[in-house]
Structures are given as C-alpha cells and as structure tokens.
Amino acid sequence: MKPSVPCPHATQCGGCQLLEWPYARQLEQKQANIVQLMPGGCEIHPILPSPDSLHYRHKCQVTFRRQGKNEIVFGTYAPNSHRLVPFTKCLLHHPAADPIFASIASLAKQFRLEPFDDRKGTGFLRHAMVRYGRQTGEILVVLVTARSMFPGSRNFVRRLLALHPEITTVVQNINPDFTSMVLGLQEKVLYGSGFIRDKLCGMTFQLSAASFFQVNPAQTERLYQAAIRFAGLTGKETVIDAYCGTGTIGLLAAPHAKRVLGFEQNRHAVQDAVRNAKRNRVSNISFVCADAGQKMVGLAAQGRRADVVFTDPPRSGCSEHFLQALLEMQPEKIVYISCNPETQARDIKMLSPLYRVQAVQPVDLFPQTEHCENIAVLVHQ
C-alpha cells in the first residue's frame, strides 16, 4: 500500500528509494537480497516487517542553509553531493521532529544566526538533531554549531521552549572542522540534563547526543529479542558484546548469561552504557572504552575465551584483525547483527574455515529504503 501523502522531495533527496513500492513488495525484495547474499544451505527465516512503515525514525537530523537573502531552510543533502534538498516534512521522521526544526530555522533568522557554509567555512549554525523517546516521550534537541560562542543562547532556548514545551533537554554540540561528520567532540548543556531516557525490552536506557541507539525502536525490540533467542544462552556463558554502543544488546543478554563484557570506542556511549547498567541494576556486565578489534586481539593473545560473541559493527563491517581475533578465540557461537548484509557476507566468508552459518533472520529496520538489517548466527564446526 502506497503512502496516502506522497513525498514531493523523494526523487531529489534519495532517502526513500522504495517509497513508490507497496510495502509487501519491499519485504519480498529485501528477503530475496538476503537469500542471494547468504551461504547456501543455511536456514533463512522470513523477514520481520516493521510495525511502522512511516514516521519510524526516532533520531532525526537536518542541515541548515540560507535560501535567498531572507530565508533559512533545513533539509538533507542529495546523494553524493553538497546540494541541500530543503523540506518541511519527512515521511520517515517522527512527527515531533520537523516542527522543532522549523522553529529552529525561524529563530535562527530572528537571532541572526547565520547557517554554516561548509565551502567557505563561514557561518554558525550547522545542523540540528532531535531524539524522541518512544516509551518515555522525552525529547533531546541538539544544536550543532561551528564555534563555541553562542550569542543569545539563553534567550534562543527560552523562545524554543515556549514554542515546544514538550522538549526535555537542549544541547549545543560544537563542530568547527571541515568534515562530513555531523557531531563534534565538545558539548554544552543549554537546558535540562543533556540526555533523555527510553525503554527497550523492559530496560531503561540513557541516550545522549552521540549515543548509538537504533533509529526504529519498535522494530529494534524485535531485532534484539531475535538475537538473544538465537544465542541460546543458558546462564553459564561468558559473552562479549563487540561494538556495544550504549550497551543495549549486552544488557539484554546479561540476565541470561554468567558474565558479559562490552567494547566500544565512543567514550560518550560507554559512559551511557555504564549508567544504563547501574540504572537497570545489572551487575554481571562491564564495559571497556576501546576499539573492539584491538581489544579482541589482546584477549586472544592472552588465551582468554568467550562462549558467545555478539557483534554489531558499522556499515563497513568488522575489521580484519577483529575477525582474525575471533578465529583465534574460537567462541562456540557468533551472533552477527549487520546493517550492511554485503559486508556481513564478506566477513562470514573470512570466518568460514571455522564457522558455518546456522540461521539467518532479516529484519526490516528501515522501511521505504533499500537498507536491511540482518542477523546471522554462526556456530563453530
């Protein structure tokens, strides 16, 4: 079934490659892609459809640009370009996000906050991000600026809150670099605590601006429940959660395991993970701020082992030294969660001398797009 309100920007922005396809056909295509990529002979379960095929993104971000002499607009870059595609409403964004972006653009004009020009290196306001807690209703707004000095910040935030009293906290993130990365390393809390909370599978998680947390939380619950189920934990296992982010998978696995160790190189995410463990009273888990690959190499060299390894790497997949460390450590089971099944298939091939794929579970975490999340369960042979 097609969306009742078509998007006039779809052909320009490129974010919803499959928007014109009926949702059932999208699922069929993604299932076929997974079947083609995964090794023959393994059990491939039917793809899990998303409960929401529109407005499912609970983390939304936009870029600001000046349009003409008097207008400030927000939008997203067209694929492989620096050309901004302005919009007022995105069919994937949570409904709370775009009105807030519109207010920020309007206030930026009133407060004479010039949008950043990434070609000239001039201007102030670069991006804005909204994170919405699905279970809590809490809203984090992040204003990404090119420099630390924010003239009139107190009045700006006061006006923004008057327009949107539903906002829970406002953070200024400073990114002075010429980079495609949205967030910089420095932050200032302008209002509230600087973080929000959300619930997932009965646990509460703290989310700051830089924290990794899946953008489709309703479907994420089904993703993680499937991953934990495939792990087959009995309460006796030592578990590693590699690329652990805010600790979601590891914390959900901990009640079913003997001990869990999480690795994550984003220090903000590790801080959140530690707080999340305390908040949920999970005592059999610990987190290390380190590159997952390097840490696994060190553990393998020490002869340390794990029974089960969860890995949820970025789109580029697992590093070669991380995969080599897995082959040296030889856990009984690897639960590989991927947002890029192509790099996942590449990594599975590298592990094939010692591991076979027992089961595969595609999960549609990103409806209307070509992207598909996939769980592959590898067992030692």
**Residues with active-site annotation:** 339
CB-neighbour burial class of residue 350 (10 A; exposed 0-12, middle 13-18, buried 19+): middle
312 annotated among ligand-binding-site residues: yes
Contact 380, 332 (CB under 8 A): yes
Beta bridge partners of 117: 122
Q: How far is CA 139 from CA 60, 131, 194, 218, 334, in A?
A: 11, 6, 10, 17, 35
Contact 343, 372 (CB under 8 A): no
Nearest to 124 by CA among 191, 72, 68, 69: 72
Tokens of 322: 């991380």
Nearest to 355 by CA among 319, 317, 320, 327: 327
Number of helices and strands in the chain (H, E): 10, 17
For residues 231 and 234, what is the distance between their CA atoms, to the nearest angstrom? Answer: 9
Beta bridge partners of 361: 375
Residue burial 169-197, b: 16+ Cβ < 10 Å; e: rest: bbbbbbbeeeeeebbbeebeebbbebbbb
**What backbone phi and psi angles, to 5 degrees, belong to 154?**
-65, -45
Would strands 196-200 and 203-207 be described as parallel, antiparallel, or unpaired? antiparallel
Helix (H, G, I), strand (E, B) or coil at 163: helix
264 annotated among ligand-binding-site residues: yes
Would strands 259-264 and 238-242 be described as parallel, antiparallel, or unpaired? parallel
DSSP at 202: T
Residues belonging to the binding site for S-adenosyl-L-methionine are 214, 243, 264, 312
